[in-house]
Structure 1
């Protein structure tokens, strides 16, 4: 069975609900429109669903020069893209950079979800942030995603994980949907866990380097439909997929092309996936 691209997801606001797409443009720093917005605290550090699970209930939708936010119990809010003159310092893990601060209305709206003061920022220039040089090349860039431009997961690997979960104790939570893992691209047609050994892949006409496996955090325990926290998949991954002191699901991708300044290249659901190395 040939390997195919089955799903494309983008996440306009870091830690908020994703958007399922039939096609997307691959830019050097990720899918077009993916994680260019982020909620931050007063120090500019990310505010995420790891600590505030209700963020997964916020649904963002991109407009041409704005973003529309909806959430249970709150009125819809349209936030204009802030000007590049409104730059403030922010951080993502070990990266320090600047981003444009959105309007006060966005801060107030999101503060009602978080329960404390926050701000919404927009990465107006995605060339500002480099990827981890230990697993990438000079010139590689990433948006406000945790580490790398795209995350690839496999339907077969999820099926194997769900089998393990269902073999566990009676109170085990499962089966889990792929949305727990917040992938950019999902593939099908390869054996479970085959992606662990991939080094270069082509999706449609776009070639990617596999930077590294993806170590998983507590965000995967948050139900994306209810914001309720559980214990899976980390309990089961710890039994079956633990090494180097971490648990693993999926692999991180860096586009080989286009280069910064070049237009994005398209991918679409149903595209063939070729393992080059």
Structure 2
């Protein structure tokens, strides 16, 4: 008998491109999991920053704290951990650019900008997306008009543990799931079985797998050392058997249509498959 499909891990990333927090349960909201990627680091030109251009962001770790989270630098014990609340206040605002979108954002406290600028060695700011902001999922794949936070394009990213295990079987040095920054990780099924899912339930909450997630150079950055792999792994290996057009795919971009709570251990039921 095949192993049941179960939600095995949940992750939130309060600040885009910084470390994630593994949680036992998470609340599903309009833009994804509560507190996921609602904060963003921007440069002096108010353009978003990620590990793609600034690999040192991998050194910045995030830990849960009461009504917020703590930022710390794993290589700089002289930088005391910084507390950031889960939500900002609209005292100072500005427009920021993320990919092709320009959105309204609230500024963090000045000490947050100072801490991040010191940690990353360049001037930068920390900004927050309020519930008043409308940022749409990719319009070509979004007939329902779903919204997204500061995530790249979709509210949720889902990956099967079997898919990672299959990839690691092809690599000289296995990689962790943190290279791929999913929100939803499941056990059971065959490697890459999520590619075929369309509508599915996690517990009682409905979701839709929209399209594969195209991967980038961020997957080649070791999240413990902030260094890129000399040969471009695991992206190089993935490109050999997971390419479609100009995209190297791993994981599924997902939208949801309900609100409630997900818990590790929830059963997954696939309702139908992509044609």
Gap runs ≥5 in structure 1 = 167-173, 259-264
Which residue number in structure 2 is paired with residue 170 of structure 1? none
Distance 1:126 1:149 in 2: 16
* Structure 2 unaligned spans of 5+: none
Call closer, same or farther: CA 1:126–1:161 in 2, change over 3 Å. farther
Is the 1:42–1:117 Cα contact (8 Å) retained in structure 2? yes
Structure 2 residue matching 1:253: 3-state secondary structure: strand
Q: Which runs of 4+ in 1 moved over 3 A?
A: 61-67, 79-82
- The 1:31–1:15 alpha-carbon spacing in structure 2 relative to 1, beyond 3 Å, is same
Alpha-carbon distance between aligned partners in 1 of 2:128 and 2:66, rounded to the nearest angstrom = 14
CA distance in 2, matches of 1:146, 1:101: 20
Match in the other structure for 2:205: 206
Following superposition, the deviation at residue 160 of structure 1 comes to 1.0
Contact 1:126–1:142 (CA under 8 A) maintained in structure 2: no
Deviations 1:84-107 (A, max 9, x none): 242210121111111101122111
**CA-to-partner distance for each residue in 1:189-228, whole Å, 9 max, x for gaps?**
1111111111111111111111110000111111112212
SS at match of 1:252: strand
Does the CA-based 8 Å contact 2:104-2:133 persist in structure 1? no
Query: Counterpart of 2:227?
Result: 228
1:275 aligns with 2:274: no
Equivalent pairs, count: 264
Deviation at 1:79, TM superposition (A): 3.5
From 54, 64, 83, the counterpart of 1:78: 83
**Further displaced range: 151-160 or 129-138:** 129-138
**Deviation (angstroms), 1:144:** 0.6
Contact 2:201 2:268 in 1 (8 A): yes
1:30 pairs with 2:22 = no
Matches within 5 A, 1:1-277: 1-61=3-63, 63=65, 66-72=68-74, 73=76, 74-80=79-85, 81-125=87-131, 127-166=133-172, 174-230=173-229, 231-258=232-259, 265-277=260-272
Cα deviations across residues 243-262 of structure 1 (Å, max 9, x unaligned)? 1111000001100223xxxx
Which stretch of the first structure deviates more once superposed, 224-233 or 184-193? 224-233
Partners of 1:79 and 1:188 in 2: CA distance: 33
CA distance in 2, matches of 1:256, 1:66: 26
1:171 maps to none
Deviations 1:152-201 (A, max 9, x none): 001111111111224xxxxxxx2111111000010111111111111111
Query: What SS is found at the alignment partner of 2:71?
Result: strand
What CA distance in whole angstroms lies between the structure 1 residues aligned with 2:13 and 2:123? 22
Name the TM-score, length of structure 2 as normaliser: 0.91
Report the Cα distance in structure 2 between the residues aligned to 1:199 and 1:131, rounded to whole angstroms.
17
Matched residue SS, 1:128: coil
